[in-house]
Copies of this chain bind each other. A is one copy, B any other.
Amino acid sequence: MKLSKRGEYALRSLINLGIAAKVGRSLVRVTELAKAEDLPIKFLEQVMQQLREAGFVESVRGKHGGYRLAKASSQIHIGQIVRLIDGPLAPIGCVSQTAYAPCNCPDEAHCGLRMLMLDVRNAIAAILDRYTLADVVEVTTRKMVTSGRALPYSSPAEAPAPRSKARTRRPHAHTSPTEGVIHQLLGDYAI
């Protein structure tokens, strides 16, 4: 049930771009993104292209160029990214909602394996399609703040200082069927 390196790098970079956006930094270079997570630059360049072509990030070329999110991080669902990079969430094609393919079992209706894998698919999708980049960024930055470390991408020049940002997220109060770590952390208002 692996996430590819490509997918991991994409998500890590998007999280970094999300932090940058939150902190008022308008552009981040690939080299910065690569250094921040220790990723191979040329490989990451490819990944960023893919994210740009899919409309998740936009770029500015030339000197002082870089990447930024193309939409609000709350509009980018993790499932979208994983599907883009790694394909369907479903363990087998015959339970995929976005890329169904019949399996070779004689009769899908009697296939217990299929039903089990449908449950798995739904469990995965329930998480990855529920949470957004904003959620992951929130958890990451909150953790950083509580442990007293400065957020990266504190804009050196052009930033209007991160205004303390009135709560924008829905509260995740009793809204969740899958109550995992992320849910707990987002619910924890005592920063």
A1: contacting residue among B86, B104, B115, B138, CB under 8 A: B86
Chain A residues bordering chain B, tally (CB within 8 A): 58
**What's the nearest-Cβ distance from chain B to residue A14, in Å?**
9
Q: Quick check: A139 and B112 within 8 Å, CB to CB?
A: yes
Q: A123 at the A/B interface (Cβ < 8 Å)?
A: yes
How many copies, total?
A: 2
A113-B11, A127-B119, A127-B120 known; A2+B91 contact, CB < 8 A: yes
Which of A86, A105, A137 is packed against the most chain B CB atoms within 10 Å? Answer: A105
Q: A17 at the A/B interface (Cβ < 8 Å)?
A: no
Residue interface mask A111-138, B partner, CB < 8 A = 1? 1110111111011101110010001111
A89: chain B residues within 8 A (beta carbon)? 1
Q: Quick check: A110 and B140 within 8 Å, CB to CB?
A: yes
Q: Quick check: A110 and B1 within 8 Å, CB to CB?
A: no
Q: A53 at the A/B interface (Cβ < 8 Å)?
A: no
A15: contacting residue among B113, B118, B140, CB under 8 A: B113
A12: chain B residues within 8 A (beta carbon)? 105, 113
> In the complex the two chains form, what is the Cα distance from A137 to B149 in whole Å?
52
Q: Quick check: A123 and B1 within 8 Å, CB to CB?
A: no
CB-based nearest B residue for A128: B120
Q: Quick check: A147 and B15 within 8 Å, CB to CB?
A: no
A residues near B, CB below 8 A?
1-3, 8, 11-12, 15, 36-39, 78, 82, 86-92, 103-106, 109-113, 115-120, 122-124, 126-128, 131, 135-140, 143-144, 147, 149, 178, 180-183, 185
Q: List 25 A-B contacts (CB under 8 A).
A: A1-B82, A1-B124, A2-B2, A2-B87, A2-B92, A8-B92, A11-B113, A15-B112, A38-B104, A110-B149, A112-B135, A112-B136, A112-B143, A112-B182, A113-B140, A115-B182, A116-B139, A116-B181, A116-B182, A118-B180, A119-B178, A120-B128, A123-B123, A123-B124, A124-B124
